[in-house]
Structure 1
Amino acid sequence: MIFAVIVVVLIVVVGLWAVSQYNGLVKLRNLVQEAWRQIDVELHRRHDLIPNLVETVKGYAAHERGVFDEVTQARAAAAGAGSSPAEQAQQENVLTQALGRLFAVAENYPVLRASENFQQLQAELTATEDRIAASRRYYNANVRTLNTKVESFPANVIAGMFHFERAEYFEVADPQVRQAPDVQF
């Protein structure tokens, strides 16, 4: 009788542990998905601002057609749905580089730089970039936590049984970002 009670208590404890591990994995997976949706919201805001910025610069620099086409194509590719975090990061890197060239064109037009509309759009884009960076940090922190739990024993047993998988990080692939600045005195 005592042996049966011990076995039942042990089964209940193991069952409660398994349920707790499963619920923890579900919670982390949902946090990762929520964080990705927040990045997606900020990226859509960025994509909505870009046409306004391009149109503003176009008014001053009509002969820079190639740069405008490049930004428009990069925005269309980045705004496409159904991308994984790695694919989205790659498309966003292309868009960031195209925007850099657009701002380089704008530097050649002092009247444009002084335009209140251009300054406002540039400030909004900068604020959006900051929110994207913060969202990316939050997303990557949640991915790290989920991946750690999926790979750590004994939670990896439950993760394997219920097909929980590692999530992808949202990483910057721009070599200029990863390169140390050259400082000279």
Structure 2
Amino acid sequence: MLPTFITIAVIIAVIVLWIISTQRRLVVLDENISNAMSQIGVQLSSRFDALTALLDLTKGYARHESETLIETIKSRRSVITAKSTPDEVMRQEGVISEALGRISMVTEQYPDLKANQNYIKTMDAVQTFENMVRTSRLIYNDSVTKLNREIRMFPVSMVAGMLGFGQRDYLVEQADKADMPSMK
């Protein structure tokens, strides 16, 4: 009787340790996703700041258009946090793309603006932040892949469901994303 009790206790202890280990692994994967989303938020915020600086440069050329666009951006801008969804990120990227398209139309009308060194430097900054967002999107999607793969595999899938872990959505590239305005 005692050896049977010890065997059952050992089996229960192994199962409990495995569940704890699985939970810890899932938490790490979930935190990686939250961190990647936070990084996207920081970079989108920096991109918005560079975009606002770009709009300030256009004020001298198309004051009404610039002021209208600045107000539009301020009203539609939201902060991306670790708890944000891919849809919220896509909406913010849409706001940026729309603004860049409108800035491009203004700069086409004013070749002096297009040749302005501050404009060129600011456009470089906007492009740099765009590249950083792309990198963070890749990291986010890679982290989501790891969590989703882990959650889908048996027996982790049972534990993940019991502990409240679910599959996360990917950030997908916008098919109709506006091209960056040219600086040439």
The one-letter code matched in structure 1 to 2:43 is E
The sequence identity of aligned pairs, in percent, is 30
* 1:174–1:86 Cα change, 3 Å: same
Higher mean Cα deviation, 143-152 or 71-80? Answer: 71-80
Aligned-pair CA distance for 1:175: 2.5
| Residue in structure 1 matched with residue 68 of structure 2 by the alignment | 69
| Residue in structure 2 matched with residue 107 of structure 1 by the alignment | 108
Q: Please, what TM-score do these two structures have when normalized by structure 2?
A: 0.84
1:155 aligns with 2:167: no
| Residue in structure 1 matched with residue 4 of structure 2 by the alignment | 3
- C-alpha separation between the residues in 1 aligned to 2:55 and 2:117? 15
Q: CA RMSD in A?
A: 2.1
Higher mean Cα deviation, 167-176 or 144-153? Answer: 167-176
* 1:68–1:100 Cα change, 3 Å: farther
- C-alpha separation between the residues in 1 aligned to 2:125 and 2:93? 17
| Residue in structure 2 matched with residue 170 of structure 1 by the alignment | 171
| Residue in structure 2 matched with residue 32 of structure 1 by the alignment | 33
The number of residues matched between the two structures is: 175
Q: Please, what TM-score do these two structures have when normalized by structure 1?
A: 0.83
* 1:154–1:163 Cα change, 3 Å: same
1:79 aligns with 2:39: no
- C-alpha separation between the residues in 2 aligned to 1:141 and 1:105? 38
Structure 2: unaligned runs, 5 residues or longer: 179-184
1:23 aligns with 2:27: no
* 1:37–1:167 Cα change, 3 Å: same
Q: Is the 8 A contact 1:42 1:132 kept in 2?
A: yes
- C-alpha separation between the residues in 2 aligned to 1:11 and 1:151? 24
Higher mean Cα deviation, 69-78 or 115-124? Answer: 69-78
Q: Is the 8 A contact 1:71 1:99 kept in 2?
A: no
The one-letter code matched in structure 2 to 1:132 is V
Aligned-pair CA distance for 1:16: 1.4
- C-alpha separation between the residues in 1 aligned to 2:39 and 2:145? 17
Q: Is the 8 A contact 1:85 1:170 kept in 2?
A: yes
Aligned-pair CA distance for 1:66: 4.1
Q: Is the 8 A contact 2:80 2:89 kept in 1?
A: no
Higher mean Cα deviation, 168-177 or 86-95? Answer: 168-177
Higher mean Cα deviation, 99-108 or 29-38? Answer: 99-108
- C-alpha separation between the residues in 2 aligned to 1:171 and 1:108? 33
SS at 1:24 equivalent: helix
SS at 1:59 equivalent: coil
- Cα deviations by residue, 1:115-141 (Å, 9 ceiling, x for unpaired): 111011000010000000000110111
Structure 1: unaligned runs, 5 residues or longer: 178-185
